[in-house]
Amino acid sequence: MTDIDGKALAAKLQGQLAEKTARLKAETGMVPGLVVILVGEDPASQVYVRNKERSALAAGFKSEVVRVPETITQEELLTLISKYNQDADWHGILVQLPLPAHINEEKILLAIDPAKDVDGFHPTNMGKLWSGHPVMIPSTPAGIMEMFKEYKIDLAGKNAVVIGRSNIVGKPMAQMLLDANATVTIAHSRTKDLPALARQADVLVVAIGRGHFVTKDFVKPGAVVIDVGMNRDENGKLIGDVAYEEVAEVASYITPVPGGVGPMTITMLMEQTYNACLLAGVADGQD
């Protein structure tokens, strides 16, 4: 069994990104810009935003966090997004989720310019992914694909099962696996005899949001197991959706939690901001 070390891979890619950013600035004067809008004081969101800001600065980006009160109106938030849509200095716009109940999340995501939607959540970008012409793609599945590449895990012809059907992970993950010539099944909490279906997988991606949900009974010997879960146990310890200790006994490769998929998500977010900057330069005739 081999641990897929997402932390080490993320550090490697972030180092390469910092070098690319420095070259871009020296050659063209362009600097990728990422703005994150944080509504309210949610503690988990504060941590995520701080990590994003730290990564952006480490990559040499222009970074800004706009903190607004939970009482902001939907119209005020839409006006703020419009301002950054029109500002050429900013290539990536993120609105940290979740949002307060009085704000329509879908309307907010729709308001972000698809060319600056580095989260890849806009329906335009989702449609491009599903039609085989991806531009901005959700960062977590993008990071998982980089893991497969780094560890030379060939997906062509493999049976892949994705447990979880969210727009953020499950659905885009399935499409990326299809693009890599895997045969893909999307499963979820209501799938009949889920363990038996999962045992058919050469590659098992678990993003169901339930701590230690997937046990050894779900895993075919020699399978590659990717754990996207981030849950807290009764002691507050961070755990994945996969019961790591017992599944590691049968898997060929497995991602630990923490230190697996998580670090790659922010790394790919930064990569997409860099790419958005390149695309903006092409649009402005700087290439």
Active-site residue flag, 52: yes
Q: Retrieve residue 25's tokens.
A: 């600035």
CA distance 32 to 272: 10
120 is in an annotated binding site: no
Q: Which residues pair with 231 in a beta bridge?
A: 239
199 is in an annotated binding site: no
6 closest CA partner among 235, 230, 209: 230
CA distance 251 to 262: 20
Active-site residue flag, 154: no
3-state secondary structure 116-129: HCCCCCCHHHHHHH
**Alpha carbon separation from 53 to 46, 225, 242 (Å, rounded):** 11, 30, 29
User: What DSSP character marks residue 206?
Assistant: E
CA distance 58 to 267: 11
Active-site residue flag, 237: no
- Out of 14, 96, 175, 272, pick the active-site residue: 96
- Out of 14, 116, 117, 119, pick the active-site residue: 119
End-to-end C-alpha distance for the chain, whole angstroms = 45
The helix or strand, by DSSP H or E, that contains position 130, with its residue range, turns out to be: helix 123-130
- Out of 52, 116, 171, 220, pick the active-site residue: 52
Strands (E), 146-208: 159-163, 183-187, 203-206
Contact predicate 201/225, CB 8 Å: no
Specify binding-site residues for NADP(+): 164-166
Binding-site positions read 164-166
Residues with catalytic function: 52, 96, 119
